[in-house]
Amino acid sequence: MPDPGSAVGRLAGALRRSRAARRLTQAQAAAVLSTSESTVQRAEAGVSTPKKYVVEGYVAKLGLDPEEAEHLLTEATRPPGRQRRVLTQAPHPGLVSTREELGRALARVWEEDNCPSPRGMQDRADKAAARTAGQQQVSTQYAFLSKSAAYRIAHRRQLPSRVEQLRSYLHACRVKENGYEVWVAAYHRVKVKEKEEAKARTEARAEERRRWRGEAGRRRAIEIMLKARLIPAESFSGSATAPWTARCRDCGLVGRFRLASVRQGHGCRECASPPQSAGRDGDSAVPAGTPPEADQALARARVPAVPGSGAEALWAGHCATCGSAGGSEYGNSRSVDSAQGSCRMCGRSRETGTEADSGVRSVV
């Protein structure tokens, strides 16, 4: 006995209904279709899948819905033993609140429609757009849905660009029109949330920039770098994300560091043991083991004479040895490029380690 609930049985039922709507007998339908009565009987029996040309005849001459016929024929011709793919886990459209959830929900309706091809989706959307081209109601407007857009939306690589394209995609996936409203509401929720998040990120970046402005911000930035055992080689730009040239106190490496990364504990890459995180609050405590001269130098911190001019500009400061004030080139006095250089007044040379750190660091 044929199973009316199977794919072949559902297709046979659709064929019988289309013939009954025209009030034709099977013999009369066979004459209209230019085929034999036995062919019509087999097609409507639901025992085996009818030929494609027979189904197309019902569509062309007996009024069978073409999209329904295509869907049922695809289901009926599925190879035996082929496993249906696992559907994407997605919330109901009424519960969607994020971009990721909306993407999964749109992928789910595509899978529930047996994964139609991008070309087929474009054709369906084009027919819907042509049918409603003369209508003025916003709720019935459709937009062009290209094959590439249909593919990217179905595979969660993008969202519809606007509400009209969303309707076209839903129509291409055979979602009933009376269910569009909940999808449109979900789409608007996601877009509003994205705008709010973008605004919050912009405000957070602005607040971060304000935090590092002025003398207090520069001093706080210098304290964080020194705590991470990094000695700045140029003036602070005022941005926690801009690269900042500094020298590692332990290995002498000169590199470019971002203050934001240093605050998270990412210091010199060459040192075996990474520095401890300076903390999000910019803790200004000098780490254990730092020479007492370092704390004194920080207390006498000065702004470079030429802000942002680099390691070769004159930096105003005090010598930690003799206390004399003046300017010196950071690249020479701090041994950035060589192991030479010292205060012009005392003439002492500091080459490495703690002695170099207690030199002209006051210019930082």
Checking if the pLDDT of 318 tops 60, the result is: no
CA pair distance 344, 1, nearest whole angstrom: 106
Q: Which residues contact 70 (CB under 8 A, 6 or more apart)?
A: 120
294 or 190, greater pLDDT: 190
Identify the pLDDT of residue 211.
77
Helix segments in 132-159, DSSP class H: 147-154
Percent of the residues in the chain that have a pLDDT greater than 70, as a whole number: 70
* Six-digit token string for 327: 């300017």
* Six-digit token string for 98: 């994020």
- Mean pLDDT, residues 131-147: 73
CA angle 101, 106, 111 (to 5 degrees): 120
Q: Which residues contact 152 (CB under 8 A, 6 or more apart)?
A: 158
In the block, residue with structure tokens 């040192």:
271
- Mean pLDDT, residues 257-281: 69
9 or 3, greater pLDDT: 9
Percent of the residues in the chain that have a pLDDT greater than 90, as a whole number: 30
Identify the pLDDT of residue 311.
47
CA pair distance 323, 364, nearest whole angstrom: 16
**Poorest-pLDDT segment among 223-232, 297-306, 310-319:** 297-306
The DSSP letter of residue 364 is: -
CA pair distance 32, 291, nearest whole angstrom: 102
Give the neighbor-by-neighbor strand order of the sheet with 243-248.
Answer: 230-232, 243-248, 254-258
Identify the pLDDT of residue 37.
92
Other C-beta atoms closer than 10 Å to the C-beta of 340 total 11
Residue 330 — very low, low, confident or very high, per pLDDT cuts 50/70/90? very low
Domains along the chain?
7-76 (1.10.260.40), 93-202 (no CATH), 214-363 (no CATH)
243 or 364, greater pLDDT: 243
Other C-beta atoms closer than 10 Å to the C-beta of 208 total 13
The DSSP letter of residue 95 is: G
For residue 171, the one-letter residue type is H
- Mean pLDDT, residues 189-214: 87
Of these ranges, 73-77, 185-189, 250-254, 263-267, the one predicted with the greatest mean pLDDT is 185-189
pTM of the shown model? 0.48
pLDDT tens-digit map of 271-282: 744 444 444 444
Checking if the pLDDT of 362 tops 60, the result is: no
Checking if the pLDDT of 19 tops 80, the result is: yes
Identify the pLDDT of residue 32.
92
Burial class (CB in 10 A: 0-12, 13-18, 19+), 199: exposed
Residue (of 64, 82, 83, 61) closest to 12 by Cα position: 64
pLDDT tens-digit map of 68-122: 888 888 888 776 555 556 788 999 999 999 999 999 999 999 988 878 889 989 9
Q: Is the CB of residue 243 less than 8 Å from the CB of residue 258? A: yes
Identify the pLDDT of residue 166.
95
Q: Which residues contact 283 (CB under 8 A, 6 or more apart)?
A: 224, 227
pLDDT tens-digit map of 56-68: 899 989 999 988 8
Query: Which H helix or E strand runs over 255?
Result: strand 254-258
